[in-house]
Structure 1
């Protein structure tokens, strides 16, 4: 196993950009929302730069880009509602696992390590995605962006995990693709591991100073 796992008793994973490439489905829902509101579509390239802070922030960024200004609270609320509708109608049909994910999760489970999922995606979408991708049995606990009062980069979700499993944060590893994952992990006292292929607002995740980097999660095993 990878040296970063030495002394680790729990591995927490981010979802979008770490385990799955979900931008095609997210962009389709964003574009359907914008079109419905009479605004120009954004496309996958832009949407990939906006992912990471939950659905509401994704919609806010899309509306601000299309309008050229910060959307009103009323327009944002409507856009958020319509995005959830469009995304919920077709969760995961274009979403794919990144290479090495299944191998890594299987090997970690075989070693007896509990695995958790900590994402800023709304909780309601997690189960359909995991079931569709064959990952539903891999995680002992899943937290969405609306599971707790705070979401990443706040450390609360990770501290909740450590408490749930009765582990010291220093015995836990946070694996993610963005500065929000690394910041949350560092603030919670977790060890941090980053992958470079996900969504980090166009910035190299190495700049966030993770404790380790792997090109593929397969390197964990």
Structure 2
């Protein structure tokens, strides 16, 4: 296979972290005296980073209330960060076949990188808890650079840092942000249908390939 660098999204692709994100979101809203929301509702707000999740939660909608002030959003975001630090791995689980699959890909000689929109401060603890820290040659969070997915910069930065041409890379994720980032970077994209993606079918984003489970993705990558 000509592809040597596999760049993975995190939430909704490798891990199901929504229960912890929802707990932290509702704790933030309770502290602010605002209505809380169901797990299904909050699931549709995940994927654009913590700031977007906080803005949507404060608005009670995917459409952010234009009346929210920057000060209000920043104060709420700090409450969210504090709450999430208490919950970030307690309910987070891996999707089926992901743990063994990542290890097989590493053993097969692929270079693995994690490119997520999750704030970087929360990533190492989760990786350590899952025993995945040695698997990834590079880890980028949503605030590691000045821009995040769907901007191509995190993907191109990862390729450059690890000395791979974009033509040798694949971006693997569950949302339109992952697919758009890959397309914007000129990198092949693979979509996974079981993640979040705001309730939309990942196929609508037209990635190069789509798989409904990690086992099928693994077979595809190992057989190429």
Does TM, normalized by the shorter one, top 0.5? yes
Which residue does the alignment assign to 1:64? 59
Counterpart-to-counterpart distance in 1, 2:105 and 2:65: 46
Matched length:
215
Aligned residue runs from structure 1 range 87-98, under 5 A? 87-98=84-95
Q: CA deviation at 1:79?
A: 0.6
Secondary structure of the 1:159 match is helix
* TM-score, with structure 1 as normaliser: 0.94
Counterpart-to-counterpart distance in 2, 1:207 and 1:60: 25
Aligned residue runs from structure 1 range 1-221, under 5 A? 6-65=1-60, 69-70=65-66, 71-219=68-216, 220-221=218-219
Counterpart-to-counterpart distance in 1, 2:87 and 2:131: 17
CA contact (8 A) 1:103 1:218 kept: no
Counterpart-to-counterpart distance in 2, 1:217 and 1:174: 14
Q: CA deviation at 1:152?
A: 0.1
- What is the root-mean-square deviation of aligned Cα atoms in Å? 1.2
Secondary structure of the 1:79 match is helix
Q: Deviations over 1:183-215 (max 9, x none)?
A: 001111111111101011111010000100111
Q: Deviations over 1:62-92 (max 9, x none)?
A: 00117x9342222111110100010012211
Counterpart-to-counterpart distance in 2, 1:218 and 1:138: 18
Secondary structure of the 1:193 match is strand
Secondary structure of the 1:175 match is strand
Counterpart-to-counterpart distance in 2, 1:85 and 1:151: 22
Counterpart-to-counterpart distance in 2, 1:55 and 1:201: 15
Secondary structure of the 2:44 match is helix
Counterpart-to-counterpart distance in 1, 2:144 and 2:23: 25
Q: CA deviation at 1:168?
A: 1.0
**Uncovered stretches (5+) of structure 2, i.e. residues with no partner:** 220-224
